Amino acid sequence: MTTHNTTATTELFTQCKELATAFCNHERDAVRMAELACKIATARDLAPCVAVDYARSQTIARDNCRGDLARCAISCYVGTYAKYNEGSLDGVWMGLDGYEDAEYLLDCMRGMHEDEADPELMLQDWNIKLDGLCASDLGECPDADTLQFLLDMLQAEEDERELALDYLSARGDKLSDYTDFADLLSQEQDAYAGTLDANSWNAFRDWAVQMFMECHEIPENLESYLDAEHIASEYSRDTYEGEKYVFWAR
């Protein structure tokens, strides 16, 4: 029985390699594609020609993902629990930028592991270029709602996204504290109190004094008589200070 299986596997690899050679410029690439095609054919009970087409599509997708990563604000390394439990870290980096639908994104991620009949995705690493968003909040197996949150965030205008992430960071919140990105935006907009002066060495104190003067209609010529530190201390009780913005603690 073992001999029969070994012979069948060898024959399958030979057929896949012959087909893969037509798409590859180098012997080693044809071997890799044939090996992947064999896994796909075995897992999904497919004919060699179909398995090679799947393997070729997966290879192209991987190459495209790698090429776009430098421009991606959020990317993740997509493996599977089955491979991990077998001691393999085989997977691919995928950028989230450009995707709009989480279910479609998940389908694409699963498509990177055509050698498994029902791949259980494991997002083993994250590369995030957005301030205020932590990889620890996302984990290894984010659900479709979390991924949709990220996709909606990436689709937003840059200033909207920056404000929302600064609010998230200032409060120490997690994505799971909000129903979706629209909910985060709504709460951030309601809480927005002002912009910090990037050129000031004590931006929050300067903002607090300015806010106090506007609220109490104090002339600018009396500003030097104000206790700036006390005013800032009082305002800090009712606000969250971000990197660039201030938000009311409501």
With residue 121 as reference, give the H or E element that holds it: strand 121-128
Centre a 10 Å sphere on the Cβ of residue 107 and count the other Cβ atoms it contains: 10
Task: Answer yes or no: is 141 within a domain.
Answer: yes
Q: What is the pLDDT of residue 1?
A: 41
Number of domains in the chain: 3
Q: Rounded mean pLDDT of 147-173?
A: 95
Task: Answer yes or no: is 132 within a domain.
Answer: yes
Q: Identify which has the larger pLDDT, 220 or 192.
A: 192
Task: Answer yes or no: is 10 within a domain.
Answer: yes
Q: What is the pLDDT of residue 46?
A: 82
Q: What is the pLDDT of residue 2?
A: 46
Q: What is the pLDDT of residue 5?
A: 61
Cα–Cα separations (whole angstroms), residue 24 to 18, 33, 38, 116: 10, 9, 16, 23
Q: Tell me: the pLDDT tens digits for 48-67? A: 888 888 777 666 665 555 55
Burial class (CB in 10 A: 0-12, 13-18, 19+), 108: middle
Q: What is the pLDDT of residue 24?
A: 81
Cα–Cα separations (whole angstroms), residue 170 to 51, 103, 198, 245: 50, 31, 16, 9
Of 12, 33, 63, which residue sits at a domain end?
63
Same domain, 135 and 191: no
Greatest mean pLDDT among 26-40, 49-63, 108-122, 229-243: 229-243
Place of tokens 């639908």: 101
Q: Rounded mean pLDDT of 29-52?
A: 84
Task: Answer yes or no: is 171 within a domain.
Answer: no
- Considering only CA atoms, which of 42, 43, 45, 52 is closest in space to residue 19? 52
- Considering only CA atoms, which of 17, 38, 53 is closest in space to residue 115? 38
Q: Tell me: the pLDDT tens digits for 204-244? A: 999 999 999 889 888 878 878 899 999 999 999 999 999 99
Strand order in the sheet with 245-248: 192-195, 245-248, 239-241
Task: Name the percent of the chain in helix, strand, coil, to the closest 5.
Answer: 60, 10, 30
Same domain, 53 and 87: no
Same domain, 49 and 94: no
| Spatial distance between the Cα atoms of 69 and 60, rounded to a whole number of angstroms | 15
Q: What is the pLDDT of residue 4?
A: 47
Q: How far apart are the first and last CA of the chain?
A: 71
Task: Answer yes or no: is 32 within a domain.
Answer: yes
- Considering only CA atoms, which of 124, 129, 130 is closest in space to residue 92? 124
Q: Rounded mean pLDDT of 172-180?
A: 92
Task: Answer yes or no: is 55 within a domain.
Answer: yes
Domain range for 240: 184-248
Give DSSP secondary structure letters for 129-168. Answer: -STT--GGGT-SS--HHHHHHHHHHHHS-HHHHHHHHHHH
Biggest CA pair distance of the chain = 96
Q: How high does pLDDT run on average in the chain?
A: 88
Distance of CA 109 to the CA centre of its chain: 13
% of the chain exceeding 70 in pLDDT:
93
